[in-house]
Structure 1
């Protein structure tokens, strides 16, 4: 089956509605009561609605929230835990271990920012330096993170 055959089949399926969908309703329709799905109300419904409006304060009542529900909501809204990995990686970025990678990244950022200010565009980016710094920070933080998780 080629691509044109596929599109032809799709076109034929959706361009010709099935005959069952357009068939007229069978059987007669009643004129005694309104058709379903209309906003008209029958005499019985009108009488029942009048009785309900008279008995407004009596009988069934809807759900009224209580104070217990508020307490449950407060318990559910507990503080979300903070990921310790992010904090450890930030500490490692400024540590002595990652200072060479941080130094190269900072120099690159200054160089690229200067190029953008002078020329309106940069001839390089700092992706490689960023990945070196991120790798160093991750390697530094990993043992501390797993020690904290145990």
Structure 2
């Protein structure tokens, strides 16, 4: 969603940058390791929901101040 013609939503880029940041690195590693176990069939019944929420909490905490500073 944009409020000016031609401007893009900065949130997806900020989420990617924050997800790759050193602050969220350990959460991303835990989520990727869990996903690999689940996709590989190594962990029956595991869903990675906790790891996903922990990672997204870190990403959102990083994105919020950057995103709100861009809003006018």
Which TM-score tier does this pair reach, normalised by the shorter chain? 0.7 to 0.9
Provide structure 2 residue ranges, at least 5 long, that are not aligned to the other structure.
Answer: none
If the length of structure 1 is used for normalisation, what is the TM-score?
A: 0.41
Higher relative CO (Cα under 8 Å, sequence separation at least 6) belongs to: 2
Secondary structure (helix, strand or coil) at the match of 2:44 reads coil
Q: Does 1:124 align with 2:50?
A: no
Deviations 1:73-94 (A, max 9, x none): xxxxx65x43211210111001
Provide structure 1 residue ranges, at least 5 long, that are not aligned to the other structure.
Answer: 1-77
Tell me the residue number matched to 2:17.
91
Between structure 1 and structure 2, the one with the greater Rg is 1
If the length of structure 2 is used for normalisation, what is the TM-score?
A: 0.81
CA RMSD of aligned residues (A): 1.9
Over 2 Å off, 4+ runs: none
